[in-house]
Amino acid sequence: MFSNRYIFIYSSVMVILVAIALTIVAVLLKPMQEYNQRVEKMQNILISVHIESTPKNAEVLYKKYITESLVVNSKGEVKEGVNAFDLEMQVENKKKSEDKNLPIFICMSEKNEKYYIVPVRGKGLWGPIWGYVSFKEDLNTIVGTRFGHKSETPGLGAEINTPPFQNQFINKTILNNEGSFISVMVVKGGAPDSDMHGVDAISGGTITSKGLEAMVHDCIKEYTVYFSKIRK
Amino acid sequence: MSNFKLLKAPFNRENPITVQVLGICSALAVTVQMKPAIVMALSVIVVTAFSNLIISMLRNTIPPRIRIIVQLVVIAALVIIVDQLLKAYVYDVSQKLSVFVGLIITNCILMGRLEAFAMAQKPWPSFLDGIGNGIGYGLILVIVSFFRELLGSGSFYGHKVIPQSFYDAGYIDNGLMILPPMALITIGTIIWVQRSKNRDLIEK
């Protein structure tokens, strides 16, 4: 028979040993994991302007095409001393609108066209959704999008990260004829081809679709002032 | 049982999925494509082998009243280590497996083997039993994912194998194969084939 004393000591020692082992593993592997996350982010930024990359060549392609990155605030002023790539939208979204750091990545394409890429982040049905939206130099027409999600329903909400859904955004515009910001709507039952500000929602994925619409609207809205400055 | 038998029995006659009916849930979830299925199988082999080994070495010191807790701590620690390694070395696969690696902790094969075998056997046989059961689980995963990927996406280990001319002639990938119910039916078919070959497995 084992005494209570033995059981207490046994479990304490076991827990401490396991904790030490796990800490060592986590600390040793952290640099590699962070590197992987950075590469994935580069790949996502590149794919939003239709540049395919693999984990191996992502860094090279990123350096080649993404020529500049900057951080602005909602008043449209460029902020110095902040690295756009290292900003976490998760953290920025919790701040008040006027305190937010808004990253912009500028890409020079093969055809020598200048694209502006901005990150977006919002809420889906089960967890966060995020993505990148890229614009042509008029800062109105969408070049491409890339969306991701943590845990949306497979086959329904999770469809937001598939090419058929993402490609609908190509060539849509975020400004109406008067030049004011209206974003791109996700239309239930399908948007007609002529609709310059609408894409089809996902059947059965209404809450994810609506969350995505709100995410694109809310995040790009913050850039309105800076964008209108650049357009002039 | 000889050591070799310990290793081999779970491939067929004592297969954890089709005979012991353990670990069904993850077999449904990760078998849409072959690559995640194989990584999952390898992870489970590592975890079953080492948790069996560690528990077997500790078996005489573990107080029976807290044995389940001790087993869980060992399994959980191993799973976390595997998860961290996957994130560091095969990041894209770890993204696909997402929660399922963490769910190895709740995979009944592990607790089942620890309770039924490792708590009463010496370390070396336990280690082999762990590897055997891990492979037995992996085999079923690979078979199921082979059929699901082939019929569901027309590919083999990520490479397209059904020629474009088939699609031009009107062939369509069966979208149903990608959904979990078809995994259950595939496993059911495997069980049926296995039992019609080994009649003594059929319960009266």
Q: Pick from A32, A38, A39 the residue to mutate for testing the B interface (most B CBs within 10 Å).
A: A32
Is residue A117 within a helix (H) or strand (E), and if so which, with residue range?
strand A114-123
Question: The complex's ipTM?
Answer: 0.73
A126 within domain boundaries: yes
> Could you tell me if residue A24 is inside a domain?
no
* Mean pLDDT within B95-110: 78
Domain count, chain A: 1
A79 in any annotated domain:
yes
| Angle at CA of residue A226, ends A220 and A228, nearest 5° | 95
Q: Does the pLDDT of residue B77 top 80, yes or no? A: yes
Mean pLDDT of B7-16: 84
Closest partner CB to A26 (pick from B74, B84, B99): B84
Mean pLDDT calculated for residue range B99-125: 86
Contact A147, A131 (CB under 8 A): yes
Given a contact cutoff of 8 angstroms between Cβ atoms, the answer to whether A102 and A119 are in contact is no
Please tell me the distance in Å from B109's CA to the nearest CA on chain A.
22
Only one residue has tokens 């809450």, namely A207
Instruction: Name the most confidently modeled range: B14-23, B40-49, B177-186.
Output: B40-49
What was the pLDDT predicted at A134? 94
For residue A2, being part of any structural domain is answered with no
Q: How far is CA A232 from CA A78, A139, A217, B45, B66, in A?
A: 16, 11, 22, 62, 72
| pLDDT at residue B24, as a whole number | 83
What is the domain extent for residue A217? Answer: 66-231
**Does A6 map to a domain?**
no
Query: Cα distance from A2 to chain B (closest Cα, Å)?
Result: 6
pLDDT at residue B98 greater than cutoff 70: no
Evaluate whether residue A225 is within a structural domain.
yes
Q: Band of the pLDDT at B193, cuts 50, 70, 90?
A: very high
Residues across chain B: 204
What is the per-residue pLDDT across B35-63, written as a single tens digit (0 to 9) for each? 888 888 988 999 999 999 999 999 999 99
Neighbours of B159 (CB within 10 A): 6
A27 domain residue, yes or no: no
Confidence of residue B23 (pLDDT cuts 50, 70, 90): confident
Chain A residues touching B74 at Cβ < 8 A: 18
B contacts of A8 (beta carbons < 8 Å): none
| Nearest-by-CA chain B residue for A30 | B88
Q: List beta partners, residue A148.
A: A130
CA triple A215-A220-A224, angle to 5 deg: 150
Residue B1 confidence (pLDDT): 62
CA-wise closest residue to B24 among B15, B12, B13, B33: B15
Beta partners for residue A102, in sequence order: A72
Interface test with B, best of A10, A15, A42, A54 (most B CBs within 10 A): A10
Q: Which of A31, A150, A44, A61 is nearest to B89 (CA)?
A: A31
When scoring B51, B72, B80, B179 by the number of chain A Cβ atoms within 10 A, the one with the most, hence best to mutate, is: B80
B48 and B75 Cβ atoms separated by less than 8 Å: no
| Per-window interface: B 143-202 vs A, CB < 8 A | 178-179
pLDDT in tens, chain A (232 residues): 789 999 999 999 999 999 999 999 999 999 999 999 899 999 999 999 998 888 888 889 999 999 988 899 888 888 888 888 888 888 888 888 888 889 999 999 888 889 999 999 999 988 899 999 999 988 999 999 999 888 777 667 888 988 889 999 999 999 988 888 888 999 888 888 788 889 998 888 889 999 999 999 999 999 988 998 888 7
Distance CA(A103)–CA(B157), nearest Å, equals 38
Nearest residue, CB atoms, A21 vs list B62, B77, B179: B77
> Does A9 fall in a domain?
no
The single residue listed with the structure tokens 């502006």 is A116
- Residue B125: per-residue pLDDT: 92
Q: Is there a contact between A10 and B64 if contact means CB atoms under 8 Å apart?
A: no
What is the pLDDT at residue B103? 77
